[in-house]
């Protein structure tokens, strides 16, 4: 038990003492994963909405493909991006290997299926009457779609949260394409692997707790944004909330 208490104490110290090593890698973790989720949202939400609302041949196949993306092993994505960006690879001339940009690219690939998959579930869960009624009341197609998305916003928030959690916690891809270089591409998860390999389990555990504490703070903010004003709307609308 002492190990866990010691780790918790060390975590608190690292979090509040402004240790510059931890602050740097934590900053990079948030920056890389945050940017990756942003890219994932730009790709995943349009795809999720299109597949969720659209009706086209082979749609079920596309849905299954998106859901398969949930099972993408980070290390495989890392390997793929590595082969792409390696000097001997097709995009080697860009010299992006072992940079934060390469890490964002890999994590964006990981985040996109999460965002798309949960978006499509959220969009589909809203009765299509919403759009029909809006059209009947004289809304344009774009306005009707907007109304539909407004109804689905809780689920869209969940999509962002899930994507962020998936990439903030992964280590396989960032290790592979970032290289865990001190001061350049070391993030929380790769630092935890490093400390574990060095046999410093206490420090590794403490870093893990720091990462969780920060993830909690970020999620608290996202949850406020997501649930804040909407709670009242939902309770009166009486619509199913499969994700709540």
Partner 1 sequence: MGSRTYLTTAAHAGARTGVKPRARACARKASRVALAVVGAVGACGGERSDHGAGNALTLATTTTIEDSGLLSVLDSAFRASPPQVRLRVIVAGSGEVLALGRRRDVAVLLTHAPAAESAFVAAGFAAERRPLMYSEFVLVGPPSDPAGVRGERDAAAALRRISSARARFASRGDDSGTHQRELALWREAGIGVEPGRPPADWYAEIGQGMGETLRIASETEAYALTDRPTFLVLQSGLRLELLVEPDPPLWNRYAVLVVEGAANIEAARAFADWLASPAAQELIRSYGRARFGRSLFMPGVPETSPQHTGLQSEPEPESDPEPESEP
Residues 68-87 binding partner 1 (CB under 8 A) are: 86-87
Residues 205-224 binding partner 1 (CB under 8 A) are: 206, 214, 217-218, 220-221
| Choices 56-64, 104-112, 198-206, 231-239 (CB under 8 A): range interacting with partner 1 | 198-206
With beta carbons less than 8 A apart as the criterion, state whether 26 and 188 touch.
yes
With beta carbons less than 8 A apart as the criterion, state whether 214 and 30 touch.
yes
Q: Considering beta carbons, is residue 220 or 231 the nearer one to partner 1? A: 220
**Closest separation in Å from C-beta 154 to partner 1:** 21
Supply angle C-alpha 80, 86, 92, rounded to 5: 115
Cα–Cα distance, 100 to 190 (Å, whole number): 13
**Closest separation in Å from C-beta 140 to partner 1:** 35
Cα–Cα distance, 156 to 67 (Å, whole number): 16
Alpha-carbon torsion (232, 238, 243, 244), positive or negative:
positive
With beta carbons less than 8 A apart as the criterion, state whether 122 and 157 touch.
no
Q: Considering beta carbons, is residue 170 or 195 the nearer one to partner 1? A: 195
Task: Say whether residue 93 binds partner 1 (CB under 8 A).
Answer: no
Among 107, 124, 189, 203, binds partner 1 (CB under 8 A): 203
Among 131, 195, 210, 211, binds partner 1 (CB under 8 A): 195
**Closest separation in Å from C-beta 179 to partner 1:** 4
Task: Say whether residue 199 binds partner 1 (CB under 8 A).
Answer: yes
**Closest separation in Å from C-beta 10 to partner 1:** 7
List C-alpha distances in Å: 76 to 21, 92, 102, 168, 220.
29, 19, 14, 17, 31
Q: Considering beta carbons, is residue 145 or 218 the nearer one to partner 1? A: 218
Task: Say whether residue 60 binds partner 1 (CB under 8 A).
Answer: no
- Burial (CB count <10 Å: 0-12, 13-18, 19+), residue 178: buried
Task: Say whether residue 89 binds partner 1 (CB under 8 A).
Answer: yes
Please state the φ and ψ torsions of residue 131, each to the nearest 5 degrees: -70, -40
Alpha-carbon torsion (220, 224, 230, 232), positive or negative:
positive
Q: Considering beta carbons, is residue 200 or 241 the nearer one to partner 1? A: 200
């Amino acid at each position: 038990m002492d190990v866990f208490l010691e780790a918790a104490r060390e975590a608190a110290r690292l979090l509040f003492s402004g240790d510059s090593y931890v602050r740097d890698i934590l900053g990079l973790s948030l920056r890389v994963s945050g940017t990756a989720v942003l890219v994932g949202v730009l790709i995943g939400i349009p795809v999720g909405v299109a597949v969720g609302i659209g009706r086209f041949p082979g749609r079920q196949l596309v849905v299954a493909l998106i859901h398969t993306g949930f099972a993408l092993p980070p290390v495989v994505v890392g390997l793929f991006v590595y082969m792409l960006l390696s000097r001997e690879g097709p995009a080697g001339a860009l010299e992006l290997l072992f940079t934060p940009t390469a890490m964002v690219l890999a994590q964006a690939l990981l985040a996109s299926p999460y965002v798309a998959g949960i978006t499509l579930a959220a969009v589909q869960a809203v009765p299509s009457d919403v759009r029909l009624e809006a059209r009947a009341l004289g809304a344009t197609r774009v306005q009707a779609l907007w109304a539909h998305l407004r109804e689905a916003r809780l689920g869209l928030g969940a999509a962002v949260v899930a994507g962020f959690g998936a990439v903030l916690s992964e280590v396989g891809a960032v290790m592979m394409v970032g290289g865990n270089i001190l001061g350049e591409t070391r993030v929380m998860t790769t630092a935890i692997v490093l400390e574990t390999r060095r046999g410093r389990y206490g420090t590794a555990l403490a870093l893990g707790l720091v990462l969780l504490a920060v993830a909690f703070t970020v999620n608290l903010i996202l949850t406020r944004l997501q649930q804040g004003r909407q709670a009242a709307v939902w309770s009166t609308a009486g619509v199913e909330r499969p994700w709540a």
